[in-house]
Amino acid sequence: MPDKGGVVQGSLKQTVFKGGLSFPLMVARREALEHNIATMAAFARDHGMELAPHVKTHMSREIAAMQLGAGAWGLTVATTRQAMAARGFGAARVMVANQVVDPAGLEWAAGELARDPGFEFLSFADSVTGVDILARHASARPFTVLAELGHDGGRAGCRSLEQLLDVARHIQDTPGVELAGVAGYEGALRNAEEVKAYLRRLQDAVEHLRVRNPILSVGGSQWFDVIGRELVATQATIVLRSGAYAAHDDGYYRDRTPFNRVAGELRPALEIWAHVLSTPEPGLAIVGMGKRDAPYDEGLPIPRREGVTVVAIQDQHTVVRADGVQPGDLLAFGISHPCTAFDKWRTLPLVDRDYRVVGEITTYF
Protein backbone atom coordinates (compact mmCIF):
# COMPACT_ATOMS: atom_id res chain seq x y z
CA MET A 1 0.00 0.00 0.00
CA PRO A 2 1.61 3.32 -0.98
CA ASP A 3 2.42 6.03 1.55
CA LYS A 4 -0.17 8.77 1.77
CA GLY A 5 0.79 11.44 -0.74
CA GLY A 6 2.36 9.08 -3.27
CA VAL A 7 5.86 7.83 -3.81
CA VAL A 8 8.04 10.77 -2.78
CA GLN A 9 11.38 9.27 -3.78
CA GLY A 10 10.20 8.88 -7.36
CA SER A 11 9.59 12.63 -7.54
CA LEU A 12 13.00 13.90 -6.45
CA LYS A 13 14.16 17.05 -8.27
CA GLN A 14 10.70 17.56 -9.75
CA THR A 15 8.16 20.04 -8.42
CA VAL A 16 5.29 18.61 -6.43
CA PHE A 17 2.99 19.83 -9.19
CA LYS A 18 4.66 17.78 -11.93
CA GLY A 19 6.19 14.86 -10.07
CA GLY A 20 3.35 12.39 -10.10
CA LEU A 21 2.30 13.03 -6.50
CA SER A 22 -1.37 12.79 -5.60
CA PHE A 23 -3.40 15.37 -3.73
CA PRO A 24 -4.27 16.44 -1.08
CA LEU A 25 -0.63 16.71 -0.10
CA MET A 26 1.14 18.19 2.89
CA VAL A 27 4.63 19.45 2.12
CA ALA A 28 7.46 20.48 4.43
CA ARG A 29 9.50 23.51 3.40
CA ARG A 30 13.20 22.79 3.94
CA GLU A 31 14.37 26.36 4.39
CA ALA A 32 11.74 27.07 7.05
CA LEU A 33 12.60 23.91 8.99
CA GLU A 34 16.32 24.67 8.89
CA HIS A 35 15.74 28.29 9.87
CA ASN A 36 13.45 27.43 12.79
CA ILE A 37 15.74 24.74 14.18
CA ALA A 38 18.78 27.02 13.97
CA THR A 39 16.85 29.95 15.48
CA MET A 40 15.68 27.98 18.50
CA ALA A 41 19.08 26.37 19.04
CA ALA A 42 20.64 29.83 19.08
CA PHE A 43 17.99 31.18 21.45
CA ALA A 44 18.62 28.40 23.95
CA ARG A 45 22.38 28.77 23.67
CA ASP A 46 22.27 32.56 24.04
CA HIS A 47 20.16 32.24 27.21
CA GLY A 48 22.31 29.56 28.82
CA MET A 49 19.74 26.80 28.37
CA GLU A 50 19.84 23.32 26.92
CA LEU A 51 17.20 22.27 24.41
CA ALA A 52 15.53 18.85 24.40
CA PRO A 53 12.91 19.32 21.67
CA HIS A 54 9.60 17.57 22.21
CA VAL A 55 9.42 15.31 19.16
CA LYS A 56 5.80 14.28 19.81
CA THR A 57 5.05 17.15 17.44
CA HIS A 58 6.59 15.54 14.38
CA MET A 59 7.83 12.03 15.33
CA SER A 60 10.16 12.25 12.33
CA ARG A 61 13.59 10.70 12.02
CA GLU A 62 14.71 13.37 9.58
CA ILE A 63 13.61 16.36 11.68
CA ALA A 64 15.01 14.79 14.85
CA ALA A 65 18.35 14.36 13.08
CA MET A 66 18.31 18.06 12.18
CA GLN A 67 17.59 18.99 15.79
CA LEU A 68 20.30 16.72 17.18
CA GLY A 69 22.70 18.05 14.57
CA ALA A 70 21.94 21.58 15.79
CA GLY A 71 23.14 20.63 19.26
CA ALA A 72 20.02 19.37 21.05
CA TRP A 73 20.79 18.08 24.56
CA GLY A 74 18.44 15.17 23.95
CA LEU A 75 14.91 14.44 22.73
CA THR A 76 11.70 14.75 24.73
CA VAL A 77 8.73 12.43 24.23
CA ALA A 78 5.37 11.81 25.90
CA THR A 79 5.26 7.99 26.01
CA THR A 80 7.60 5.03 26.09
CA ARG A 81 6.43 4.07 22.61
CA GLN A 82 7.63 7.46 21.42
CA ALA A 83 10.83 6.90 23.42
CA MET A 84 11.48 3.72 21.44
CA ALA A 85 11.09 5.69 18.22
CA ALA A 86 13.35 8.50 19.48
CA ARG A 87 15.97 5.93 20.37
CA GLY A 88 15.72 4.69 16.81
CA PHE A 89 16.24 8.26 15.62
CA GLY A 90 19.69 8.13 17.22
CA ALA A 91 19.07 9.91 20.53
CA ALA A 92 21.51 9.02 23.30
CA ARG A 93 19.38 10.89 25.85
CA VAL A 94 15.58 10.60 25.97
CA MET A 95 13.28 12.36 28.41
CA VAL A 96 9.71 11.14 28.89
CA ALA A 97 7.85 14.24 30.05
CA ASN A 98 5.39 12.20 32.08
CA GLN A 99 5.13 9.75 34.93
CA VAL A 100 5.83 6.35 33.33
CA VAL A 101 3.62 3.55 34.65
CA ASP A 102 3.47 1.25 31.61
CA PRO A 103 5.13 -2.09 32.53
CA ALA A 104 6.15 -3.01 28.99
CA GLY A 105 7.62 0.43 28.40
CA LEU A 106 9.58 0.32 31.64
CA GLU A 107 10.90 -3.14 30.81
CA TRP A 108 12.13 -1.80 27.48
CA ALA A 109 13.77 1.21 29.14
CA ALA A 110 15.46 -0.95 31.79
CA GLY A 111 16.73 -3.29 29.10
CA GLU A 112 18.05 -0.43 26.99
CA LEU A 113 19.86 1.08 29.98
CA ALA A 114 21.46 -2.29 30.72
CA ARG A 115 22.41 -2.84 27.09
CA ASP A 116 23.97 0.58 26.45
CA PRO A 117 25.94 2.31 29.23
CA GLY A 118 25.90 5.54 27.21
CA PHE A 119 22.10 5.75 27.07
CA GLU A 120 20.26 8.13 29.41
CA PHE A 121 16.54 7.76 30.15
CA LEU A 122 14.75 10.38 32.25
CA SER A 123 11.14 10.59 33.39
CA PHE A 124 8.94 12.47 35.86
CA ALA A 125 7.30 11.51 39.16
CA ASP A 126 4.75 13.37 41.28
CA SER A 127 3.82 10.66 43.80
CA VAL A 128 5.33 8.00 46.02
CA THR A 129 3.25 5.43 44.14
CA GLY A 130 4.73 6.53 40.84
CA VAL A 131 8.26 6.31 42.23
CA ASP A 132 7.59 2.78 43.48
CA ILE A 133 6.34 1.70 40.04
CA LEU A 134 9.59 2.91 38.50
CA ALA A 135 11.71 1.23 41.17
CA ARG A 136 10.00 -2.14 40.71
CA HIS A 137 11.00 -2.22 37.05
CA ALA A 138 14.60 -1.02 37.43
CA SER A 139 17.46 -3.36 36.60
CA ALA A 140 21.22 -2.87 36.78
CA ARG A 141 21.05 0.92 36.36
CA PRO A 142 18.57 3.11 38.24
CA PHE A 143 15.93 5.17 36.50
CA THR A 144 16.74 8.88 36.48
CA VAL A 145 13.78 10.86 37.82
CA LEU A 146 12.74 14.51 37.93
CA ALA A 147 10.25 15.41 40.66
CA GLU A 148 7.38 17.21 38.93
CA LEU A 149 5.87 20.40 40.29
CA GLY A 150 2.49 21.40 38.89
CA HIS A 151 0.05 24.21 39.61
CA ASP A 152 -3.61 24.53 40.49
CA GLY A 153 -5.81 23.73 37.52
CA GLY A 154 -2.88 22.35 35.55
CA ARG A 155 -1.95 18.86 34.51
CA ALA A 156 0.19 16.46 36.53
CA GLY A 157 2.70 17.54 39.17
CA CYS A 158 2.81 18.03 42.92
CA ARG A 159 0.62 20.94 43.96
CA SER A 160 2.89 22.16 46.75
CA LEU A 161 6.58 22.37 47.57
CA GLU A 162 6.01 20.14 50.60
CA GLN A 163 4.50 17.39 48.43
CA LEU A 164 7.37 17.67 45.96
CA LEU A 165 10.00 17.43 48.68
CA ASP A 166 8.27 14.33 50.07
CA VAL A 167 8.45 12.73 46.62
CA ALA A 168 12.08 13.82 46.22
CA ARG A 169 13.05 12.31 49.57
CA HIS A 170 11.32 9.07 48.63
CA ILE A 171 13.26 8.93 45.36
CA GLN A 172 16.52 9.40 47.25
CA ASP A 173 15.60 6.69 49.78
CA THR A 174 14.45 4.12 47.21
CA PRO A 175 16.82 1.74 45.38
CA GLY A 176 16.35 1.63 41.62
CA VAL A 177 15.65 5.33 41.14
CA GLU A 178 17.89 8.39 41.20
CA LEU A 179 16.83 12.01 41.72
CA ALA A 180 18.15 14.41 39.06
CA GLY A 181 16.13 17.57 39.62
CA VAL A 182 12.73 19.18 39.05
CA ALA A 183 10.38 19.42 36.08
CA GLY A 184 7.36 21.55 35.31
CA TYR A 185 5.06 22.72 32.53
CA GLU A 186 4.05 26.36 32.22
CA GLY A 187 2.20 26.18 28.91
CA ALA A 188 -1.30 26.13 30.42
CA LEU A 189 -0.83 29.36 32.38
CA ARG A 190 -2.70 32.41 31.18
CA ASN A 191 -0.20 35.25 31.29
CA ALA A 192 3.40 36.21 31.92
CA GLU A 193 2.81 37.10 35.59
CA GLU A 194 1.42 33.64 36.30
CA VAL A 195 4.37 32.09 34.47
CA LYS A 196 6.87 34.16 36.47
CA ALA A 197 5.27 33.11 39.76
CA TYR A 198 5.35 29.47 38.72
CA LEU A 199 8.98 29.68 37.62
CA ARG A 200 9.86 31.13 41.03
CA ARG A 201 8.25 28.09 42.65
CA LEU A 202 10.24 25.77 40.38
CA GLN A 203 13.47 27.56 41.19
CA ASP A 204 12.67 27.41 44.90
CA ALA A 205 12.04 23.68 44.59
CA VAL A 206 15.39 23.07 42.91
CA GLU A 207 17.19 25.03 45.61
CA HIS A 208 15.65 22.81 48.30
CA LEU A 209 16.95 19.61 46.69
CA ARG A 210 20.19 18.05 47.83
CA VAL A 211 21.31 17.09 44.34
CA ARG A 212 24.63 17.75 42.68
CA ASN A 213 24.28 19.52 39.31
CA PRO A 214 20.46 19.49 39.31
CA ILE A 215 18.30 19.72 36.20
CA LEU A 216 15.35 22.10 35.96
CA SER A 217 13.22 21.21 32.95
CA VAL A 218 10.39 23.33 31.60
CA GLY A 219 8.38 22.93 28.44
CA GLY A 220 6.09 24.63 26.01
CA SER A 221 6.43 26.97 23.05
CA GLN A 222 4.60 30.05 24.34
CA TRP A 223 6.73 31.36 27.21
CA PHE A 224 10.36 30.46 26.55
CA ASP A 225 11.27 34.16 26.48
CA VAL A 226 10.03 34.53 30.06
CA ILE A 227 11.91 31.37 31.03
CA GLY A 228 15.09 32.74 29.49
CA ARG A 229 14.81 35.93 31.57
CA GLU A 230 13.55 34.54 34.86
CA LEU A 231 15.81 31.53 35.33
CA VAL A 232 19.16 33.13 34.53
CA ALA A 233 20.29 33.11 38.17
CA THR A 234 19.66 29.45 38.91
CA GLN A 235 22.59 27.09 39.32
CA ALA A 236 20.61 24.24 37.76
CA THR A 237 20.94 23.11 34.16
CA ILE A 238 17.84 24.51 32.44
CA VAL A 239 16.43 22.07 29.89
CA LEU A 240 13.76 23.52 27.60
CA ARG A 241 11.30 21.04 26.04
CA SER A 242 9.63 23.14 23.32
CA GLY A 243 8.39 21.15 20.35
CA ALA A 244 6.15 23.11 17.98
CA TYR A 245 8.88 25.55 16.94
CA ALA A 246 10.41 23.31 14.25
CA ALA A 247 7.35 23.46 12.00
CA HIS A 248 5.62 26.52 13.49
CA ASP A 249 2.32 27.45 11.78
CA ASP A 250 0.10 30.13 10.27
CA GLY A 251 -2.41 30.21 13.11
CA TYR A 252 -2.18 29.15 16.74
CA TYR A 253 1.57 29.53 17.26
CA ARG A 254 1.91 32.43 14.83
CA ASP A 255 -0.21 34.39 17.29
CA ARG A 256 1.49 33.06 20.44
CA THR A 257 5.19 32.65 19.69
CA PRO A 258 7.53 34.54 22.05
CA PHE A 259 9.24 35.86 18.92
CA ASN A 260 6.33 38.28 18.69
CA ARG A 261 7.86 39.86 21.82
CA VAL A 262 11.61 39.37 21.36
CA ALA A 263 14.03 39.52 18.44
CA GLY A 264 13.86 36.66 15.97
CA GLU A 265 11.21 34.88 13.97
CA LEU A 266 9.88 31.44 13.18
CA ARG A 267 8.53 30.54 9.75
CA PRO A 268 5.64 28.22 8.87
CA ALA A 269 7.12 25.05 7.40
CA LEU A 270 3.95 23.13 6.52
CA GLU A 271 1.47 23.63 3.69
CA ILE A 272 -1.35 21.47 2.39
CA TRP A 273 -2.22 21.59 -1.29
CA ALA A 274 -5.60 20.33 -2.46
CA HIS A 275 -7.85 20.44 -5.51
CA VAL A 276 -11.12 22.24 -5.85
CA LEU A 277 -13.59 19.40 -6.44
CA SER A 278 -16.82 21.29 -6.99
CA THR A 279 -18.31 24.78 -7.23
CA PRO A 280 -21.96 23.90 -6.61
CA GLU A 281 -23.14 27.45 -5.89
CA PRO A 282 -21.88 30.93 -6.80
CA GLY A 283 -19.07 31.84 -4.41
CA LEU A 284 -18.97 28.36 -2.86
CA ALA A 285 -16.31 25.72 -3.46
CA ILE A 286 -15.67 22.25 -2.09
CA VAL A 287 -11.99 21.37 -1.64
CA GLY A 288 -10.63 17.82 -1.45
CA MET A 289 -9.00 18.20 1.97
CA GLY A 290 -10.53 17.33 5.32
CA LYS A 291 -9.97 16.44 8.95
CA ARG A 292 -7.95 13.40 7.91
CA ASP A 293 -5.47 15.68 6.16
CA ALA A 294 -5.28 18.88 8.22
CA PRO A 295 -5.40 19.83 11.91
CA TYR A 296 -8.56 21.56 13.11
CA ASP A 297 -8.39 21.49 16.93
CA GLU A 298 -6.78 24.95 17.27
CA GLY A 299 -8.21 26.69 14.24
CA LEU A 300 -9.10 25.82 10.66
CA PRO A 301 -6.64 25.71 7.74
CA ILE A 302 -5.55 29.13 6.50
CA PRO A 303 -5.91 29.75 2.74
CA ARG A 304 -2.84 31.17 1.02
CA ARG A 305 -4.93 32.65 -1.80
CA GLU A 306 -6.57 36.00 -1.18
CA GLY A 307 -10.35 36.00 -1.37
CA VAL A 308 -10.67 32.42 -0.09
CA THR A 309 -12.29 31.84 3.31
CA VAL A 310 -12.66 28.49 5.04
CA VAL A 311 -16.23 28.00 6.25
CA ALA A 312 -16.12 24.42 7.54
CA ILE A 313 -14.00 21.30 7.50
CA GLN A 314 -15.40 17.78 7.28
CA ASP A 315 -13.86 14.31 7.18
CA GLN A 316 -12.69 14.53 3.55
CA HIS A 317 -13.86 17.97 2.44
CA THR A 318 -13.30 21.64 3.22
CA VAL A 319 -16.01 24.15 2.41
CA VAL A 320 -14.72 27.55 1.29
CA ARG A 321 -16.15 30.83 0.11
CA ALA A 322 -14.32 31.96 -3.01
CA ASP A 323 -14.93 33.56 -6.38
CA GLY A 324 -13.11 32.70 -9.57
CA VAL A 325 -12.11 29.12 -8.74
CA GLN A 326 -12.93 26.08 -10.84
CA PRO A 327 -12.86 22.32 -10.35
CA GLY A 328 -9.28 21.15 -10.78
CA ASP A 329 -7.68 24.30 -9.36
CA LEU A 330 -5.03 23.70 -6.70
CA LEU A 331 -5.25 25.75 -3.52
CA ALA A 332 -2.61 26.02 -0.79
CA PHE A 333 -3.42 26.18 2.92
CA GLY A 334 -1.32 26.91 5.95
CA ILE A 335 -2.03 24.95 9.10
CA SER A 336 -2.84 25.85 12.68
CA HIS A 337 -1.22 23.63 15.35
CA PRO A 338 1.62 21.45 14.01
CA CYS A 339 1.28 18.98 16.89
CA THR A 340 -1.84 17.54 15.27
CA ALA A 341 -0.68 17.88 11.65
CA PHE A 342 2.18 15.41 11.22
CA ASP A 343 0.26 12.44 12.64
CA LYS A 344 -2.05 12.48 9.62
CA TRP A 345 0.81 11.73 7.21
CA ARG A 346 3.32 8.89 6.96
CA THR A 347 5.49 10.61 4.34
CA LEU A 348 5.81 14.27 3.35
CA PRO A 349 7.80 15.70 0.46
CA LEU A 350 10.58 18.00 1.63
CA VAL A 351 10.62 20.89 -0.83
CA ASP A 352 12.82 23.86 -1.65
CA ARG A 353 11.55 27.39 -2.24
CA ASP A 354 10.50 26.43 -5.80
CA TYR A 355 8.58 23.39 -4.54
CA ARG A 356 11.11 20.97 -6.00
CA VAL A 357 11.23 17.74 -4.02
CA VAL A 358 14.63 17.53 -2.33
CA GLY A 359 13.90 14.73 0.14
CA GLU A 360 11.23 13.28 2.35
CA ILE A 361 10.02 13.53 5.92
CA THR A 362 8.83 10.25 7.40
CA THR A 363 6.77 9.99 10.59
CA TYR A 364 6.45 7.22 13.19
CA PHE A 365 3.26 7.64 15.19
All domains in the chain, ordered by first residue: 9-29+265-362 (2.40.37.20), 92-242 (3.20.20.10)
**pLDDT tens across 185-199, in order?**
998 899 999 999 999
Single-letter code of the amino acid located at 148: E
Contacting residues for 293 by C-beta, under 8 A, at least 6 apart? 24, 26, 272, 274, 344, 345
Mean pLDDT for the stretch of residues 2-21: 73
Selection from 121, 104, 103 nearest residue 112 by Cα: 121
Q: How confident is the model at residue 208 (pLDDT cuts 50, 70, 90)?
A: very high
Report the pLDDT value the prediction gives residue 7, as an integer from 0 to 100: 55
Average pLDDT over residues 73-89: 98
Confidence of residue 253 (pLDDT cuts 50, 70, 90): very high
Pick the most confident of 5-14, 15-24, 109-118: 109-118
Whole-prediction pTM: 0.95
| Proportion of the chain above pLDDT 90, given as a percent | 92
Asked if the model's pLDDT at residue 233 lies above 80, the reply is no
Per residue in 159-184, pLDDT (tens digit) is 999 999 999 999 999 999 999 999 99
Mean predicted confidence (pLDDT) in 49-72: 98
- State pLDDT tens for residues 328-355: 999 999 999 999 999 999 999 999 999 9
Distance of CA 6 to the CA centre of its chain: 25
Average pLDDT over residues 282-306: 98
pLDDT (tens digit per residue) in 28-60: 999 999 999 999 999 999 999 999 999 999 999
